Structure 1
Amino acid sequence: MHNPALPLEGTDTYNDRIRIVLVETSHSGNIGAVARAMKNMGLGNLWLVNPKSFPDEASYARAAGASDVLDRAQVVGSLEEAIDDCVLVMGTSARGRKVPWPVMPPPEAAETASQASAGGSVALVFGRESNGLSNDELQHCHHHIHIPSNPEYSSLNLAMAVQVMCYELRMLYLRNLEGGEGSPYLKPMSAPGDAGWDVSPASVRDVEGFFGHLEQMLVDVEFHRRENPRQLMTRLRRLFQRARLDQMEVNILRGILTAAQKAAGKAPNQRQSTDGESSATGQEEGHV
């Protein structure tokens, strides 16, 4: 009926104490999309309250590798059954109820749910695609979760709403991992020296050798005059320093400069070759 499920990330993130509860879902494909959203973020405890159609081919097709979440989904006849053993229930809702209810945005809701899950099961409840949760259903919730979407177009697809909450729970999980295990997932990688970058940062000596070579090449092609420099090299320095070059990038750039000098009939002088002897190695023939 469906393709085999992809392997789980691990039991530590397959958090069964936080259950996603869908109430009277109309389109079974949305159930599959929710399963995929959950598994993307390491969750797998899905409860379905009186779905119009489940299981069926559409739900498994939309799950795309998260069929195990659907296989173990609990189908019940009422919201009361889905939340009976929970210590905390949180329902998604728009603001504007006649009687105000405790409401929080997704990050705070994830924090609250995570803390409460230490004492038992927590339910995050999502309503129907057409009109969400009823007032009676919302009154079964300790807190309401409000996703601050664009007020001029605030309706979220069911799976998108679930993804928002699962993402916040995932980020919280990674931040709380002991020993910095979650750090590689959270830290940006944008420049040489960052964890995961493939080449070491260029040294000051290598970069200065490149700047000397660049200036000479610009002179050789009659683009730059040392006797009337204006701000050309200052601005080029600012440009390349902003880029934070790595060693391979310096090699490539110096190879390009050498090729340009040869094309202009200007062989690199001895000073340039000495300044960049190690950096330019292998670049004059255009190899990276």
Structure 2
Amino acid sequence: MAPVTRFVLIETSHAGNVGATARALKVMGFDDLVLVRPRWPDVLQRPEAIERASGAVDVLQRARVVSTLDEALDGMTHVCATAMTPRDFGPPTRPPRGHFEALVARGLPQGVAFLFGPERYGMSNADVWRSHVCLRIPTAPDYGSLNLAAAVQLIAYEWRQTIGGWEASDRVSPPQTALLASQRLADAQAVAGLLSHWAQALTAVGYLDPAAPKKLMPRLQQLLNRAQPTEAEVHILRGVARAMLETAARAKR
């Protein structure tokens, strides 16, 4: 059985692009669409979205609008940003096909999320840093501008081909139905909570200066993304943070 696949649109400006994205997803057999802070709160019901969906209105009806990326990533264990411009810091930049083949080789994640930024300026650095990889679609060197829905279609196609077309259940080992916490990977929301806890603890012991944090927390984010901690390991690390806070509080008495 293929992993849970989610497509996340961040601060989308044009309702028509949301409808076209729904159509692109349905063509490839996906229907998990989440919008983070779109320009129009009622974007899923706007005429432009329904018209561009062209038969994929059911995908729009299932879609959700949320206020934070954390909410959108609930349950996801592998996060893929999309950006045409390489970043000087953050996750590695890779072509979709090569990265997907590597995922299959080492075992598919439980949940995969694909993030797409605003049409005008793309993903923010902060959102890219949340990701395990930055996917860059190979394009002509002198012109790499892609419409949002076109980019979604390309990623959805490559991912569908990777997980086995319409026979994914026959080609991928079925997941265990009752994994222990020591075996289940922590989702993106759990990792974000851990980082927030550690930021408090590191500040309390004087290691992190909130006024000049530099890139300590994004670097810790990337470390955790590479490590892919389990739920049990996240609980252990949060226990360490809790002990640091308690020790710092006692030292001030």
TM exceeding 0.5: yes
C-alpha displacement at 1:103, in angstroms? 1.7
From 79, 86, 108, the equivalent of 2:69 is 79
Runs of at least 5 residues in structure 1 that lack an aligned partner in the other structure: 1-11, 182-288
Preserved CA contact (<8 Å) 1:18 1:121: yes
Structure 2 residue 120 is matched with structure 1 residue 133:
no
Q: Please, which of 29, 35, 40 is the counterpart of residue 42 of structure 1?
A: 29
Residue identity opposite 1:127 in structure 2: G
Q: Does 1:62 align with 2:52?
A: yes
8 A Cα contact 1:35 1:63, kept in partner: yes
Distance of 1:30 and 1:112 partners within structure 2:
30
Higher mean alpha-carbon deviation, 107-116 vs 144-153, is at 107-116
For the structure 1 residues 141 and 178, does the alpha-carbon distance in structure 2 shift closer, same or farther, using more than 3 Å as the test? Answer: closer
**Change beyond 3 A, Cα 1:83–1:156:** same
> Corresponding residue for 2:13?
26
In the TM superposition, residue 97 of structure 1 has moved relative to its aligned partner by 1.7
Q: What is the CA deviation profile of residues 146-193 of structure 1, one whole-angstrom value per residue up to 9, with x for unaligned ones? A: 011122111100000001111112222446837999xxxxxxxxxxxx
Question: In 2 relative to 1, CA 109–44 (structure 1 residues): closer, same or farther, beyond 3 Å?
Answer: farther
Q: CA RMSD in A?
A: 2.7
1:178 and 1:81 mapped to 2: Cα distance? 27
SS in 1 for 2:77: strand
Structure 2 spans left out of the alignment, 5+ residues? 172-253
In structure 1, give the amino acid aligned to 2:84: A
Query: Cα gap change, 1:129/1:117 in structure 2, threshold over 3 Å: closer, same or farther?
Result: farther
CA positional deviation for 1:30: 0.1
Does the aligned pair in 2 maintain the 1:106–1:164 contact within 8 Å? no
The superposition leaves residues 223-282 of structure 1 with CA deviations (integer Å, 9 ceiling, x where unpaired) of xxxxxxxxxxxxxxxxxxxxxxxxxxxxxxxxxxxxxxxxxxxxxxxxxxxxxxxxxxxx
Residues in 2 aligned to 1:123 and 1:40: alpha-carbon distance in whole angstroms: 18
Aligned to 1:86, the other structure's residue is in SS state coil
Q: Distance in 2 between matches of 1:68 and 1:46?
A: 11
Contact kept in structure 2, 1:39 and 1:66, CA below 8 Å: yes
Give the 3-state SS of the residue equivalent to 1:144 in structure 2.
strand
Q: Highest CA radius of gyration, 1 or 2?
A: 1
- The CA deviation at 1:27 is 0.1
Which whole-Å CA distance do the structure 1 matches of 2:157 and 2:104 have between them? 13
Q: What amino acid is aligned across from residue 97 of structure 1 in structure 2?
A: R
Match of 1:102 among 92, 107, 116: 92
What TM-score do the two structures reach when normalised by structure 2? 0.60
Deviations 1:16-40 (A, max 9, x none): 7110000010001000000101111
Mapped partners of 1:16, 1:156: distance in 2: 27
- Alignment coverage as a number of residue pairs: 168
Q: Secondary structure at the match of 1:177?
A: helix
Alpha-carbon deviation of 1:122?
A: 1.2
Give the 3 Å change call, closer, same or farther, for CA 141–65 of structure 1 in structure 2: same
Cα displacement (A) at 1:136: 0.7
1:161 and 1:34 map into 2 onto residues whose CA distance is 9
- Counterpart CA distance in 2 for 1:117 and 1:25 is 32
> CA, structure 1 residues 52+175, in 2 after alignment: closer, same or farther (shift >3 Å)?
closer
Q: 1:115 to 1:75 in 2, by over 3 A?
A: farther
- Kept in 1: contact 2:17–2:149 (CA 8 A): yes
The AA in structure 1 aligned to 2:9 is L
Secondary structure in structure 1 of the residue aligned to 2:114: strand
Aligned residues with identical type, % of pairs: 40
Q: Which one of the candidate residues 141, 158, 161 is aligned to 1:168?
A: 158
Distance 1:179 1:123 in 2: 19
**Which position in structure 1 is the counterpart of 2:139?**
149
